[in-house]
Structure 1
Amino acid sequence: MIRRLRDRLLAPRAPAGYRPGATLGLLSRNLGQVHMQLLEPARGVIDNPALGCRAEVRECVEAHLLMHVVTCEFRLCLPALQGGGVTLEMRHAGAIRRTGLACVYRRGDKARFTQVREQLLNNAQLTAALMPLDFKRLTLECRDGHWWLTLEHMGGSEVVNRMPAFRRYIQISPPQRAHLMACLGLFGQSLPRL
């Protein structure tokens, strides 16, 4: 009985006012011509022939004091050409203005990281698409013969405050939508060759 009570009290639960699927519904309308199919209330799939692959989209909830933020995370799973587990993050370089892209090693094979970093940073099309993209987090992980890409855009998110009570959806602008789809498509082409 004590264990059940402890598990119930410590289990992660959604913040008050969180509506599963509401942010994905707004994102679906925001993506325009790109078709999103909802699989569950908080998870969907983007089928875009221009991508050449299917991207999964899911809601991520981050609770704060008297508020929460719901962001949408885009995920790709692609076959890897070679083995060697590695995890890295990509981010913009520059303190005030974007001056380039940086790859940050997180864990795994360092030689594989160096090889992947060089190939990604030397891909001019990918760099051109990533530079103007407003992303919060971009993680690449190679494991079990597959690449797992996770991209969290700053748009396509919802801020919900309880006091004062308000909800605000931050949309992805048409230029950002074009950059996002271009990035997903370019990663879909380049990652299977790494």
Structure 2
Amino acid sequence: MLQKLSELFSAQRAPAGYRPGVTLEYLRRNLGLAGFTSTGPTGAVFGLGDSGLQVAVGERTESQLLMHLVMTEFVIKVPASEQGNARFELHHRGSIRRTGLGFRQRAGAPTLLPRLEVALTQDQALHHALMVLDFKRLRIELDAQQWQVRLEHMGGSEVVNRMPAFRRYIALSGAQREALFDVLTGLKRALGAF
């Protein structure tokens, strides 16, 4: 599959004006979590309360013509009850209003997709949180005996423009913060029972 030109360009080198870790620090303050611990210049980890869920978060840059974006990606890992390899992507359906969730399978056994759809849509709390959450990308991968979820939110990111020069952090609202935590714990619950 062909990559977007901007993704290919941003993978080669960091954009001019990129400040590693700055967006992550804005996100740390935005989330207001006591256990937010740095794991490197562009990565951190935090725990979600009683669920025992550990969430890794990292910066990802995306270059465009006279600007770049610094996105934050949330990653969780959940043990799987079965072994295999598969990749899925989730998105919202509906062009104006959200009408549901769409599932795409990118790799793996085709019998897994209907089972995954059922597991994620039958959990009412998770389904509701997914419908409310403003996510840009949501990828679920099965690798050997482990699920890995990569979620990129629309907020928790920074826009950096060169002409005219400005930087703007796009904060997560309180409602989006709660929906994010509900989705991450719900995915742990649903995938753990899958």
Q: Tell me which moved more, 16-25 or 100-109.
A: 100-109
User: 1:51·1:184 contact (CA, 8 Å) conserved in 2?
Assistant: no
Distance 1:41 1:190 in 2: 32
State how many pairs are aligned: 184
The AA in structure 1 aligned to 2:102 is A
User: 2:119·2:190 contact (CA, 8 Å) conserved in 1?
Assistant: no
1:117 aligns to 2:117 (yes or no): yes
Shift of 1:34: 5.4
Partner of 2:69: 69
Distance 1:169 1:113 in 2: 36
Partner of 2:145: 145
Judged with a 3 Å threshold, the aligned counterparts in structure 2 of structure 1 residues 75 and 14 are, in CA distance, closer, same or farther, namely: same
CA radius of gyration, larger in: 1
User: 2:20·2:42 contact (CA, 8 Å) conserved in 1?
Assistant: yes
Distance 1:32 1:145 in 2: 33
The AA in structure 1 aligned to 2:12 is P
Judged with a 3 Å threshold, the aligned counterparts in structure 2 of structure 1 residues 146 and 168 are, in CA distance, closer, same or farther, namely: same
SS of the residue 2:149 aligns to: strand
Superimposed CA distance per residue, residues 146-181 of structure 1 (whole angstroms, 9 cap, x where no aligned partner) = 001000000000000111100000000000000001
Shift of 1:51: 3.9
Judged with a 3 Å threshold, the aligned counterparts in structure 2 of structure 1 residues 73 and 96 are, in CA distance, closer, same or farther, namely: same
Shift of 1:182: 0.8
1:162 aligns to 2:162 (yes or no): yes
Shift of 1:52: 2.3
User: 1:80·1:146 contact (CA, 8 Å) conserved in 2?
Assistant: yes
Partner of 2:181: 181
The AA in structure 1 aligned to 2:84 is G
In the superposition, the TM-score normalised over structure 2's length comes to: 0.91
SS of the residue 1:85 aligns to: strand
Percent of paired sites with the same residue: 45
Distance 2:36 2:91 in 1: 27
Partner of 2:6: none
Q: Which runs of 5+ in 1 are unaligned?
A: 1-10
User: 1:51·1:182 contact (CA, 8 Å) conserved in 2?
Assistant: no
SS of the residue 2:155 aligns to: coil
The AA in structure 2 aligned to 1:141 is E
SS of the residue 1:172 aligns to: coil
Partner of 1:28: 28
User: 1:47·1:53 contact (CA, 8 Å) conserved in 2?
Assistant: yes
User: 1:50·1:185 contact (CA, 8 Å) conserved in 2?
Assistant: no
Distance 2:70 2:42 in 1: 10
Distance 2:161 2:90 in 1: 30
Shift of 1:50: 3.8
- For the aligned residue pairs, the C-alpha RMSD in angstroms reads 1.3
Shift of 1:42: 0.3
Q: Which runs of 5+ in 2 are unaligned?
A: 1-10
Runs of 4+ in structure 1 deviating by more than 4 angstroms, as ranges, are none
Q: Tell me which moved more, 178-187 or 31-40.
A: 31-40
User: 2:120·2:187 contact (CA, 8 Å) conserved in 1?
Assistant: no
Alignment of 1:77-156 (within 5 A): 77-156=77-156
